[in-house]
């Protein structure tokens, strides 16, 4: 078997600055997402003073705030988290908001080079969102920390290590 090189996973959040954009639409669900994310960030070692939360009206407003945070020179962020909830209704609006918010979050990430964990839930109903909110918030926290560390390692020219196994 050919051996390959890899960057090991690193979920140590110590010293990282994390920005979070969270929507207020579907407030209870978004509060659960935020709670899950912040609790997990603390468990990973991110200090409270290194977490910035920006509240926005809805999912479509999240990408602009993420871009502002990513472009901030005074307080550079190592990673960002997008949190929101889009619950299917009776109109086509669900597809528009779901697709456009996701696309715009990805565009901000690629344009700025700042890793973004996308935690904008898209569900059929409130019950699905309520079941997923805390777990998804925590998943996004782990993703943000891991991607911040990986992105920094690659940019700094750190060498990958021999693969395990």
Tokens 């086509």 — which residue?
Answer: 92
What value, to the nearest 5°, has the Cα angle with vertex 72 and ends 46 and 144? 35
Structure tokens at 11: 């979920």
What's this model's pTM, rounded to 2 decimal places? 0.94
CA-CA distances (angstroms) from residue 132 to 49, 55, 64, 110, 123? 27, 20, 25, 27, 9
Catalytic residue among 42, 93, 134, 151: 93
* Residue with the two structure tokens 């909110």: 133
Return the bridge partners of 116, or none: 80
Of the CATH numbers 1.10.10.10, 3.40.50.960, 3.40.47.10, 3.40.50.9100, which one belongs to the domain with range 10-162?
3.40.50.960
The whole-number pLDDT of residue 1 equals 57
Q: What is the pLDDT of residue 69?
A: 97
Print pLDDT tens along the chain (165 aa): 567 889 989 999 999 999 999 999 999 999 999 999 999 999 999 999 999 999 999 999 999 999 999 998 877 999 999 999 999 977 768 889 999 999 999 999 999 999 999 999 999 999 999 999 999 999 999 999 999 999 999 988 888 888 776
Q: What are phi and psi of 113, to 5 degrees?
A: 75, 10
| Residue 52 bridge partners (DSSP) | 19
Cα Rg, the chain, nearest whole Å: 17
Determine whether 42 is an active site residue. no
């Amino acid at each position: 078997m050919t051996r390959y090189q890899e960057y090991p996973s690193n979920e140590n959040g110590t010293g990282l600055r994390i920005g979070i954009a969270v929507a207020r639409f579907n407030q209870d669900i978004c509060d659960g997402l935020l709670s899950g994310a912040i609790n997990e960030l603390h468990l990973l070692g991110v200090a409270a003073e290194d977490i910035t939360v920006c509240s926005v009206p809805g999912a479509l407003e999240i990408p602009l705030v993420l871009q502002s945070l990513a472009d901030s020179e005074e307080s550079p962020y190592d990673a960002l988290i997008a949190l929101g909830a889009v619950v299917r209704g009776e109109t086509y609006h669900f597809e528009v908001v779901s697709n456009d918010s996701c696309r715009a979050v990805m565009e901000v990430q690629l344009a700025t080079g700042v890793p973004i964990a996308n935690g904008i839930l898209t569900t059929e109903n409130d019950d699905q969102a309520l079941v997923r909110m805390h777990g998804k918030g925590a998943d996004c926290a782990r993703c943000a920390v891991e991607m911040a560390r990986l992105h920094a390692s690659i940019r700094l020219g750190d060498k990958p290590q021999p693969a395990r196994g």
